[in-house]
Amino acid sequence: MIETDQLTRRYGNLTAVDALSIRVEPGQVLGLLGPNGAGKSTAMRMIAGFLVPTSGAARVCGHDVSREPLQAKRALGYLPEGAPSYGEMTVREFLQFIVRMRGLKAEAGYRRYDAVVQQLQLEEVLGLCIDTLSKGLRRRVGLAQAILHDPPVLMLDEPTDGLDPNQKHAVRQLIDVMARDRTILISTHLLEEVHALCNRVVIIARGKLLADATPAELEARSRYHGAVSFSAPGSGMSQEMLGRLAQVAAIEVDPLDGRITVFPKPGARILEPVEKLLREQGLEVSEIQLERGRLDEVFRQITTGGDVAGGHA
Amino acid sequence: MSPLNAVLRRELRSYFVTPVAYVFLVIFLVLAGILTFYAGDFYERGQADLQPFFTMHPWLYLILVPAITMRMWAEEAKGGTLELLLTLPLALWQAMLGKFLAAWLFIGLALVLTFPIWITVNYLGSPDNGVILAGYLGSWLMAGSFIAIGACLSALTRSQVVAFILTALVCVLLILVGQPQVQDFFSGTLPRKLINAVAHLSMLRHFEAIARGVLDIRDLLYFLLSTLGWLAAGVLLLDLKRAR
């Protein structure tokens, strides 16, 4: 479990993290989302015990990071931003250094080492210097380092940054498997990652917590939530008819590809009536889509201070 | 294995996988030899001891120890590995002590490798080997103090060059402060007592006492306490940086 209580960090006049209070339970994968410079990494550095908070507190598995740093650090696996590691060491040396630093006993240590090397597919690069590895491989070495002691709490700062789509998929699967009984906090600015990984999202900007919800709840805040979009040639007539439907709030046409999006009135369900109308008009519709909502739009609205339906959690 | 031990081993290894160790050892041994035999009048003195050899050590350390210690923390801060190291379960003092011991053992190895000079002097005459042993001990203790200064000042900055220059500066001050020329220079302006008190801070004075074969507890304490003091200051600096 990770808890932060009014966690605050100031650099001179700049407040990087402003009274952040979050609580992540076992089984949760919380995505910390925010624009660059929002304070994600600073918050994580305080939870990991690298930076001292200006005020407030952070706890890992009940251990206060300032008062019981060693217990907190033992419970935590942490991938710092940019996955730093000692470049002059080989992957094998580096991971064995971590095994020793984590105080793993010989046999258990070897077992975990083998398992992690296999999980992250590092067998072939064990003898290579970390300096010579690609960005993606270095990231995987960083991940291996973080999960080596099989920690109950995992904190990953942009875990898939620099990975190709296949590697991203592999890392997400790994996190998914680990998520079952662990507490996981990841920071990202990739919205697709939130869909793929997280069952909870916290959005911060300028150090402040702006939203705390499930991905689905966030999507529901989107203007596009429940909207119906379709492409149909020669649909000038039907637009007018659609506008007359009682449940419809607005209609937009994409100026580029002519795709029509129909927005519902709050709480209304419009897929069926729209479909029915189109059938009655005898229009050829190649495909029709019910929108779940667009996270990027919600993200933009929240982090730029725009109005968001539903208010803050 | 304890985390301190793991840090020590990693540091020591890193000396030898990068050219640092070999460059250092070669330069140290060559300079020690040249300075002893040419600048130190090893033969002309006609005495079977290693006094000229040990006299050169403070000046050798002045250049070479900062070269070893400058990367100690500055490199970690710059490369981001400091965040990794300090979020692993070890106390700051363990990391500091591990790094210090690695460097100290390394200098110890360099000293051991000067054994041909010891063999030479034993071949040429019959020196007091007890005094020579004391000289080695004093030299190693002095190296420890230099390393501790370097470790502390490397924690101050992300720049290895700055760490090098600051360390060399502090070390040269601590060497010179007890020299008669320096004392004479200040004797007109500063009270006698202050000059004498400051002179006791001189590395050279304590080192020379030990190298003469006089193991005074005060000289040993001087090196022990200055080493611990600088290391503690370094830990404090690192801790302050986390809060700044």
CB contact under 8 A, B1 and A100: yes
pLDDT of residue A311 exceeding 90: no
B19 part of contact set with chain A, CB < 8 Å: no
Spatial neighbors of A111 by CB under 8 A, at least 6 apart, are none
- Mean pLDDT on B202-223: 88
Q: What is the mean pLDDT of chain B?
A: 90
pLDDT, average across residues B191-213: 83
The per-residue pLDDT for A312 is 41
Please report the number of interchain residue pairs, chain A to chain B, with beta-carbon separation below 8 angstroms: 71
Q: Is the pLDDT of residue A46 over 60?
A: yes
Q: Which of A105-114, A133-142, B83-92 has the highest mean pLDDT?
A: B83-92
- If one compares B214 and A57, the residue with the highest pLDDT of the two is A57
- Cross-chain CB nearest to A50 (options B18, B79, B242): B242
Of B10, B82, B86, the CB nearest to A97: B10
pLDDT tens-digit profile of A269-305? 888 888 888 888 777 777 888 888 888 888 888 888 7
Look at residue A308 in the predicted model and tell me its pLDDT: 44
Q: B206 Cβ partners below 8 Å, 6+ apart?
A: B138, B142, B218, B219, B222, B223
In the prediction, which pLDDT does A306 show? 54
What's residue A246's pLDDT? 79
Q: Is B126 on the interface with A (CB under 8 A)?
A: no
Instruction: Report whether pLDDT(A55) > 50.
Output: yes
Decide if pLDDT at B228 tops 90: yes
**pTM score:** 0.89
Q: B188 phi and psi, to 5 degrees?
A: -75, -30
Taking a C-beta distance cutoff of 8 angstroms, is the pair A308, A302 a contact? yes
pLDDT band (50, 70, 90) for residue A261 = confident
pLDDT of residue A236: 64
ipTM of the complex: 0.88
Query: Which residues in B lie closer than 8 A to residue A100 (C-beta atoms)?
Result: 1, 3, 5-6, 9
Residue A266 is predicted with a pLDDT of: 82
Q: What digits encode the pLDDT tens for the residues A190-199?
A: 888 888 889 9
- Contact criterion met (CB < 8 Å) for A103 and B83: no
Based on C-alpha coordinates, what's the Rg of chain B?
Answer: 19
Report the distance separating Cα B33 and Cα B56, nearest Å.
10
Give the mean pLDDT of A209-223. Answer: 88
pLDDT in the model for residue A136 = 86
Segment A206-219 shows an average pLDDT of 90
Chain A interface mutation, best of B76, B88, B242, highest count of A Cβ atoms under 10 Å? B88
Q: Among residues of chain B, what percentage have pLDDT more than 90?
A: 59
Say what the pLDDT of residue A37 is: 86
The nearest CA of chain A is from the CA of B35 a distance in Å of 34
B10 lies within 8 A of chain A by CB: yes
A313 has pLDDT over 50: no
pLDDT surpasses 60 at B182? yes
Strands A55-60 and A2-11: antiparallel
- Report which of residues B47 and A4 the model is more confident about: A4
Asked if B17's CB is within 8 angstroms of A101's CB, the reply is no
Chain A residues closer than 8 Å to B9 by CB: 97, 100
* Predicted confidence band of residue A62 (pLDDT cuts 50, 70, 90): very high
Least confident stretch, A9-13, B49-53, B237-241? B49-53
Q: Does A100 touch chain B (CB under 8 A)?
A: yes
Q: At what angle do helices B129-154 and B51-69 cross, to 10 degrees?
A: 20
Nearest CB neighbour to A49, from listed B1, B2, B87:
B87
Q: Which residues of A touch B87 (CB under 8 A)?
A: 48-50, 73, 76, 78, 80
Q: How far does the CA of residue B21 sit from the closest CA of chain A (Å)? A: 14
Residue A92 has pLDDT above 60, yes or no: yes
| Max Cα–Cα distance, chain A, nearest Å | 76
Which of B46 and B77 is assigned the larger pLDDT?
B77
Chain A, window 17-76: residues with a beta carbon less than 8 angstroms from a chain B beta carbon: 45, 48-52, 69-70, 73-74, 76
Q: Where are the beta strands (DSSP E) in A69-164?
A: 76-79, 153-157
pLDDT of residue B87: 95
Higher pLDDT, B237 or B209: B237
pLDDT above 60 for A310: no
Nearest C-alpha in B relative to A143:
B84
Between A170 and A146, the higher pLDDT residue = A146
CB spacing of A84 vs B80 below 8 angstroms: yes
pLDDT in the model for residue B1: 58
Q: Most A CBs within 10 Å: which of B14, B83, B235, B237, as the mutation test of the A interface? A: B83
Helix (H, G, I), strand (E, B) or coil at B26: helix
CB pair distance less than 8 Å for B87 and A73: yes
Chain A: residue nearest B77 by CA? Answer: A84
Q: What is the number of structural domains in chain B?
A: 1
Q: Are strands A2-11 and A183-188 parallel, antiparallel or unpaired?
A: unpaired
CB A49 within 8 A of CB B85: no
Poorest-confidence range of A52-61, A100-109, A136-145, B172-181?
Answer: B172-181
Share of chain B above pLDDT 70, in %: 99
The pLDDT of residue A91 is above 90: yes
Domain that residue B81 falls in: 3-243
What residues in B contact A93, CB-CB < 8 Å?
13
Residue B115 confidence (pLDDT) above 50: yes
Predicted local distance difference test score (pLDDT) of residue B203: 86
Report CB contact under 8 Å: B6, A101. Answer: yes
B35 vs A204, B54, B57, B239, CA distance in Å? 63, 10, 10, 41
- Closest Cα in chain A to B90: A70
| pLDDT of A309 over the 60 cut | no
The answer to whether the Cβ–Cβ distance between B89 and A50 falls below 8 Å is no
pLDDT of residue A126 exceeding 60: yes
A251 phi and psi, to 5 degrees? -135, 135
- Residue A270 is predicted with a pLDDT of 85
Interface test with A, best of B12, B17, B20, B87 (most A CBs within 10 A): B87
- Give the model confidence (pLDDT) of B153-180 as tens digits: 999 999 999 999 999 999 999 988 877 7
CA distance A67 to chain B (A): 12
